Each structure stands twice: as structure tokens, then as C-alpha cells.
Structure 1
Amino acid sequence: MRGGVGLVASVAAVFGLGVPASPGWTAVAVAANTVWVAIFVAVSVTRGLLPWLMAGEVALTCVLCLTQGDLVAAGMLSGGVSWVAGLVTMTIVTTGFAWRPGLAVPVGAAVALCHLAGARMAEAGDGGTVTAGIHVVQILAVAGLMTVLRRAARLADDTLTAATDEQAAAEVLRERRSAQREQNRVWHDTALNVFTAIDQGGLRRGDLRLRNQAAHALVELNLTGRPGEAPAEAKLDARLRVVVELADLTVHTHLVPCAVPWAVAEAFAGAVAEALTNVARYSGVREAGIDMAISDDGEVLVEVVDHGRGFDPGAVPAHRYGLRESIKGRMTSVDGLAEITSRPGRTAVLLSWPASAKARP
């Protein structure tokens, strides 16, 4: 804005040249103003309204005001229509942007007084009073406007900061709850399952499966809360084979090569392990099947099926952790899905990971 007004003022000074203005002094003033405009624009755009830049702006405008008798035609000295008066207005506005009212108002007033003094020395028709009145109104208006804008900006900053803090706190709380849920799932699916199997007589001292399941439980518990130690990617088919080896069942599998993010592989593995544990405990059969596929759009599908007595998924109490968290909650945590259907003779747990996160064969 200062650049545009400054260039217009230089053009107006040249084309509005008239008695008693001096062509020589006007040429010097126009050259000085034009060079200063270039400096002002370059510095303000790259480094802002620095103190020395504003001091130079005020000093140049005051000099032009005091010498306006040699720069402005007689008919343009009154009424605030001269090119020098225009520069005074621009300086008032600029100081209002750069400084607080406590400094901008007295500096603006000093510039206005310089213009008034220059107009009287040049014997302006109205003695410079009309233009001085205009400048006073401009000083007060700019100070008032900038005060309102600064207060609004401060209020907006405070509101944004508060909202950001609330969002950060909510995110921390969400992550803590998510970590707590995952820790509960791991405890449920590892140590608790091993202890339950021992208590029910499914695993006995010296049983190799007891040793393997206990070792696996220790590994899972050690990884809990330390995701940085886990690999970025895992082979899902290999991870599911480990789950099958630890199962207290005969499991028939159809697995295909598939690499997914480590967290996704762990979610599938944990959900499948819980599904197989439920088969062993409640179905009344000792066999299950796992079928794995990748759809054309990249969705990973894993289905665990048994042909036992079945159950009503809707009748499972809300406090039971296995279906709600160890299967459904775990898949939801990685943007996956778990669908459970059951009737006498067939129970199926279908796990899927959306195509929005592509799997790689």
C-alpha cells in the first residue's frame, strides 16, 4: 500500500507542478520519494516494519511537509489535496500498523504539525488548518481501528490456543485409553488365557504347549507399551502360523502370502488367537479352520470357522472381554472390522482390514 501511494504521489508532483513550486527541488523530492518507496517496500516485505525503517519514513515525510512551499502549487496547498498531504496520510496509517497507539498517536501528531507548519510557511489559503483537522481525524481513526483489530487478534489467538490445548489434552487422553485397552487385551489374551487353561486342565506341567504359550505370553507382555521396538511391517501369514501352533486345537489353514503393517498383523493375530481360544473352550469340538484371502481391491480377509454347538452373539454379557475387545475392539483399533455369526453347527468370525490401507503380497 505504501509503495502504490508513494508512486502515485511522485507522478502527481510532476504533473501538478506549478507556481510557486521549484522544478529543481520538486525533481529532488520526487527522486528521493521514489528511491525511498523502493527501499521501504523491499525491507517491509522481507523483514517487516523495522524501527529504523519507520524512523526514515517519518523523517522523510516531515522534511517534505516543511518544504512543501517549494514542492506544491499554490492551488493545491489547501484542503489536503496535495501529494505531500497524501504522503502524510500514508505515514499516519503506516505508523498505526507498526506501533501501538501510545507511540503511533504522538508520532502521527508530530507529522501533522510539520505539515501544518509547512503549509503556513507556504502561506496556504486556509493556513493548513483544514488539512490539519483531516490528519487529526485520521490519527484517531487509525489508532481506534488498530486497537480493535489487535484486541480481536489477541482474542482469536487466545481462543485458538485454548482450542489447541483442549485438542492436545483430548488426544493424550484418547491415546492413554487406547493404550490401556490394548494392554488389557494383551493381558487377557496371553497370561489370563494361559492361567485359565491350566486351571481348567487343558494344559499340564511338562506339556510343550504350556511352555510355548507361556514363552509367547512373555514376549507379548514385554512388547506392550514399547511399540518402538516392533518392526514396521510383518508377514501376516507367518504371524498366523505362530498363532495356530500355539492353539490347543487341530486347525486347518489356507493362508496366502501377505505383508501388512506390524500393528495390523498383531491385531489379526490377537483376534484369531482369541477366536481359537473360544472354540477350544465353548464349541464342544476340537477342530477349526482358518481361511485367508486378499480381495481384488486389496482388502485382507481372515475367517475362523468351527462346526461346534454355536451360540447367540447378542446374548453375550457386556462385561465379557473376549468378543468385545479381544476381537472386535482389536480390529477396530487398526481401522478393521470383525463380524461374528453363529448357529448350531457353524460359527464364523470374519476379520477384515479395509482396502483404504492396501496390503502387499
Structure 2
Amino acid sequence: MTNSLQINQKVIVARQDLQKLLDVLAQQEYQLISPTIKEAAIVYDEVSKVEDLPIGWTDKQDGGTYRLEQRDDKAVFGYSVGPHSWKKYLFPPRVRLWSAQRQGQDIQVTPETPESTKRALIGVRACELSAIAIQDKVFIDGEAVEPHYQASRDNVFIIAVNCAQAGGTCFCVSMQTGPKATQGFDLALTEVLEPESHYFVVEVGTEAGAKVLSQVSHTAATNEEQVTADEIIAQTAQSMGRQLDTAGIKELLYENLEHPQWDDVASRCLTCGNCTLVCPTCFCSTVEDVTDLTGDHAERWREWDSCFTIDFSYLRGGSVRNSVKSRYRQWMTHKLASWIDQFGTSGCVGCGRCITWCPVAIDITQEVKAIKEGS
């Protein structure tokens, strides 16, 4: 074991020492959040040991299709992304913003104290790191800082995992967001599974990561081991399930607001909002005020919303976007075009969730292709 670790340094951690990494984080009072299997899917939830992870499982994904299958090995991270994104921990689906209590003629309003739970996010993919960076721009990089998001963001330790296989709907290479993690992590793991050895090439991303890793058995990564890890990532990049041509995409969508493809996709879209719920970057929300039966206590809650709901764009007199066509067009054009104007980056990271979890298998990459070919 080396005595000191530097940022960008790469070391080897044996498979049998992975539990020690989790133990060190738990000792530092981090809640461990990782992929695990529940309800026939790989989802993010609290874990306590390596055996809680989906060891020996993988997922098969296509448009409107998701299935778990057993692997013929004991890979710890041998799958892509499931229906959950890390957004649920940084930007929760439902948060109380304040409560108010009537006391005689006075009303006392108490803002909700932002949650400060320390969480270690384990198994964060490169596309998801990019999604977190995008939400950082929305919630904390501007003049208006969202305190609940910031409190959660300030208390996370991120263990990234470089993808050793691409999912059937992945297109992170097209969006330049993966499959290799390049920023936003404390530690990044590449799993190497060979007939006679099973280990992780671990890259140090921050001083906090170096401090944690220093308490785990490790050895310096040889050039050969680093090359092996790089080859795994390169092979993943060559096996994307989907591709998206992003050249001139903003102008393409802005100039084709009345393209007939919008009517075509509207005839298939159910406006269920699944794509926005599983998307790791969508941040639409609404607020709901509730009171008790006495009228003496009231609360305001923020909840996830979707631009696919007809009430989302409601103004006095009616909804601004009252057709399926207008709502799907708003979502895709914002995601791939106007998001760039707002935040300087695309709102899509190529995770493919919106394709997998669409009940009618609408494919954002194919919709863009159809508009491009017909324009």
C-alpha cells in the first residue's frame, strides 16, 4: 500500500477489498447509496455491503423494453443505467419548503431546514456525472441558489464507475459524456474481470477521495493494468446502442418547428411524462399548498412536474401548450436546443432512459434523424 495518494493517480484495489471501501465511508457516517435489485430492476437505494449490489446481473434494454438477465460471471457493475437517476437524492421528488402555524391573530412561517445527510453515491456513470453537472448549473451556479439542492450536493461523496458495456439505448458517445468519467468524482473505478483475477483500476479525483482510498488496501497500477482499463472503456465506446447526430442540432430544431414529424410523434406519444421522470437532467417542478382541517396549519411542498402535463403551462385562460404535438416539441426542443442557449450545454447526456422507459418506444435519436432527413 502506498503512503500518499495524488489526484489523477491510478491504483489497483482487489475485488475482495471493495467491502473495505464501503466500510471506510460508513465509518465516516456516509449513507451508502448504490445500485441494487428491487422489483425486477436495478435501482438506487441504501446498501450496507457489497453483496447488496447486483453482482452477476446485467440488463437488456431497447425501446420500451427492460429486462434483467444473469451474467456468466461475477461482475459487480456489469449493467448500464436503470429507471432511477441520482437526481432523486439531489433534487428529491417532494420537498416541504415551509410550514405556517396560526397563533391567535398571528401567523408564524417557518422555512424548512435543508436536509444535510451525508451520502456516498456508489456506481455513478459518466453520463450521470454530466447530468449532475448540468443540474449544478441550474440550481447553484447562478445568482439564485436552490438551498435544498446545494445542501444535498455539498454532502455527497461520489464513486464513479467507467462503463464496461453499453446499454441497448445508450448514446453517451454522441453527447460526449461517456463512457469514461472525466470530472465530478472523488474516485472512479474501472472493473477488470479476467479468468485469473478480478480487480478495479481506481483513479483519484479529489483530496477527499485520496483520504478515503488511503485506508483501503491498494497497489500502484502498472502500465499494463492501465492499458487494460482503457481498452475496456474504448470497447464500450464502440458498442453504443444508439447514435445521435448533434451537428447543427440547435438550428435544425429551431428551423423546423412545424415539421410534419411533430404530428407523427404526437400520434404515438401518451404524454405520460415517463421520459421526464427518468431523465437525470429534467428539473421541472410545481408547488402545492396544503392546510389541515382547522385552517390553523399550512404547508408548501415542491414536487416534480413535467412539461407533458397540460396544467404545467397553464396561465389564466388556459394552457399555453394544449396539444400533444406542442408538448413533445417543447420537451425535445428544450432538451436539445434551447437548453444550450440557457445553460451553455445540451440538456441530454445520452443515457437512453427516455427511450427504454417510453411505453410506446419513442426514440429521441430517431425523431431527430427523421426531422433532419425530411428538412
Pairwise same-fold verdict (TM > 0.5): no
Report the TM-score, using the length of structure 2 for normalisation.
0.19
* RCO comparison, higher one (Cα < 8 Å, 6+): 2
The structure richer in helix per residue is 1
The structure richer in strand per residue is 2
Q: Which has the larger radius of gyration?
A: 1
